[in-house]
Amino acid sequence: MATNYHRRPQPPENRPSALLSKEENTVLFGLLGKKCTTLSSSVVQLLLTEPPHHSKWQIRCTGVVCFVKDNPKRSYFIRVYDFDRQQLVWEQELYNTFQYKTPREFFHTFEAHDCMAGLNFADDKEAKL
């Protein structure tokens, strides 16, 4: 007689950045929040445009960007964490018509809530993930 086991699917594991130590990645995973998982992590400079013309990039911070599955909010986010202050400093929720562009292998852009956002990746390999 076959036994019917109902196994719960394993939750996805957080994806570390190769540029961070194991300890730093552990700290990063702790910043994500309960039931949130990073599907990709990388060291970046976050650049934003400013009103009224949005014609010039301004460096907002250097930190770690994570592509986060936020289960409590039932959504996905691009979140940037300031590692020195160990806090979330910027986020963009993804939506159906979201357009993510890669004008350079290491520089990615997208339209955010009230500006254009750019991610300048420290590592080309992680930029491709």
Six-digit token string for 67:
């592509």
* Range with the poorest average pLDDT among 5-9, 44-48, 97-101: 5-9
Average pLDDT, stretch 111-119? 95
Q: What's the mean pLDDT when you consider all of the chain?
A: 93
Question: In the chain, what are the domains?
Answer: 22-127 (2.30.29.30)
Tokens 């955010």, residue located: 112
- Please give the model's pTM, rounded to 2 decimal places: 0.88
pLDDT at residue 1 greater than cutoff 60: no
pLDDT tens digits for 45-88?
999 999 888 899 999 999 999 999 999 999 999 999 998 999 99
Contact by Cβ (8 Å): 126, 47 = no
Neighbouring C-beta atoms of residue 86, cutoff 10 Å: 11
Instruction: Evaluate if residue 10 carries a pLDDT over 90.
Output: no
